[in-house]
Amino acid sequence: MSDTSLSIKMPRVLVVGDVMLDRYWFGDVSRISPEAPVPVVRVERREDRLGGAANVARNAVALGAHTGLLGVVGQDEAGDAIQQMLKNLEINGYLNRDTSISTIIKLRVIGRQQQLLRIDFENSPTETVLRDKLTRFNTLLPEYDVIVLSDYAKGSLVNVADMIAAGRRLGKCIMVDPKGDDFSRYKGASILTPNKSEMRQVVGAWKNEEDLTAKAQQLRQSLELEALLLTRSEEGMTLFTPETTLHIPTVAREVYDVSGAGDTVIAALATMLGAGKPLSEAVAIANRAGGIVVGKLGTATVTKEELFGI
């Protein structure tokens, strides 16, 4: 369809944040362990996928964006695996290798299409590597139109305020997928995309839609945001701007796995804005992308064919 084509302008998206390796072990479960009341999984297949900020980059490139990824990984096998996957997907990988840490890994054990266990391996990057990362960010900034800061609270975005300030000085669109109970460090970003639980941590519970709108608009104003996009799972999304509040119902046909859905939403939004789409249209497309990806197992992507039927 011509109206959804990304040929208007090649989106140039730089993703910055916590880079992870999502590792899946698939197997059959046929008995309970005699040692403890837990299932025994006989592993039959293993699969590695890009996780965290790397999953955002993976989603952006799947939708046709010229994509770069800036992050920190260890000097280890998992870091090498991420580097190779980025190369295979033609994502520009700007990975700072920190010899003193291990690459973040989320290992999921899947039995009969059900996640039975997740094991996390993670360390925070060193200050020296983070300073190098900030320098590299400032060098890369002029090459990209839209900057996505993907915060998983793993320590890679301690300089987020400096990154936002640098981006705004150059007139870039700065989008943030936030974490934690203090959003003040994201002040001055263009768009913030919290989910319901993240929003509640910051503004508290809301009694009704009117109360939510008041709290969201107050937060948007205090953080000097151009827009705040609240992702609401089965309730869809609500966009808060100075001019309006726009609610878009969910389009999910079947919710199978919500892991990585926020990555898909912000990647689609960034790609569409980078392609020149108006904000309201970009949000509608991102909502559709989120509805598709929750029907897939694990961290997944949405293709242009699935999204636009082309």
Catalytic residues: 263
- For residue 236, give Cα distances in angstroms to 59, 186, 252, 268, 306: 20, 24, 9, 15, 19
Bridge partners of residue 72, in order along the sequence: 96
Token pair recorded at residue 101: 């840490």
Starting at the edge strand found earlier in the chain, the sheet holding 245-248 runs 92-98, 66-74, 12-17, 146-150, 173-177, 191-192, 227-231, 237-240, 245-248
The strand pair at 92-98 and 104-111 is best described as unpaired
**Environment class of residue 115 by beta-carbon count within 10 Å: exposed (0-12), middle (13-18) or buried (19+)?**
middle
Residues 246 and 209: their CA atoms lie apart, in Å, by: 12
C-beta of residue 67 within 8 angstroms of C-beta of residue 57: yes
Among 144, 157, 148, 201, residue whose Cα is nearest residue 176 = 148
Among 107, 118, 124, residue whose Cα is nearest residue 22 = 107
